[in-house]
Copies of this chain bind each other. A is one copy, B any other.
Amino acid sequence: MSVVIMREILDIQKQLLPDLMDVMKKRYSILQHILVSGVVGRRTLASSLDMTERVLRGEVDFLKEQGLLETDASGMKISESGRRLLEAMEPIIKMAFGLTDLEESIRKAFQISQVIVVPGDSDTSTFAKKELGRAGAAALRKYVSKDDIIAVTGGSTMAQIANNLAISSKMKGSWFVPARGGLGESVDMQANTIASIMAKKTGGKYRLLHVPDHLGEEAYQSLIQDPQIQEVVNAVRSCRIVVHGIGDAMVMARRRKVDAETTRTLQADGALAEAFGYYFDRQGNVVHKMPTVGLRLEDLQRVEVVIGVAGGKSKGEAIASVLRHGQEDVLVTDEAAALEIMKHV
């Protein structure tokens, strides 16, 4: 309960002071180290905290000024009010940096440039799901630049991201396009719908790609010859940013009404995860792809920013599979999924 309020306050403040947490953690861990060390010297402490001597000295001077620690010729030690402060801070730090540590572990394990973990479990909490959307939207805004082409997929998570986008001069010139052709999902979670919502919310532009599923080969061939469609497909393939959800393979297969034959194949091949129309096994190998047009796996190589967004304990393993494939640049997930992911490193 109080944790929620705490987190809320910090989240609000982080918008105005993004480096708030960094500074807080730095100063906290200095005090913390001094507390456990009893009396300690500047150089010793600097190396144990992996800081240069000079910058540690700056912080120590500050902390001394605040009366949180004391120095004498034998070294530094924590003061009474410093000890009290540390005690009061513990829950805050633990809450705020439990997730940060998770982020860091995942980032290192899969060699991703950024990982964002929001609190909670999207499977059971709609609040967590909304948070995921907010964080996803923030991540997208961070990476977008003038006049980008942004390819997006469908799904409830992506819909949540669209929900949390706001008008922004940065995205005014951007194009939103669906990463792949039509899916058998409900309309308001289709990639097409989401691309258009995102464009409307941000003030950007959009192009749609309506390619029905289960098309016969000849109808398919003539469709992709269509100049209109080709134009969109080319735009999709030359996108700079991809934002996509990640799903459980079997769940997605069912939702897309994949025929029994294919489902069996998927199962036999150990398909675990689905993302932008591709199915992945535990090792991150592609075992199947959805028969439609749009972004191909080989295009991903050239895409500058691939942002995967998915949460919920049940998706943890699927997310790990996709990460293992090694094309992701940014992962946005929730606490429950993150913990699952770490079980599969």
Contact = CB atoms under 8 A, between A and B. Distances in A.
A94 B11 CA distance: 17
Contacts of A109: none
Contacts of A269: none
B168 A70 contact: yes
Interface stretch (A20-28, A186-194, A337-345): A20-28
Nearest to A15: B85
A6 interface: yes
A89 B16 contact: yes
Contact of A27 (B8, B16, B166): B16
Interface in A56-73: 64, 66-68, 70-72
Interface string A145-188: 00000000000000000000011111000000000000000000
Contact of A169 (B24, B27, B71): B71
A36 interface: no
B12 A92 contact: yes
A72 B169 contact: yes
Residue of A68, A81, A141 ringed by the most chain B CB atoms within 10 A: A81
A231 interface: no
Contacts of A138: 67, 81
A219 interface: no
Contacts of A55: none
A260 interface: no
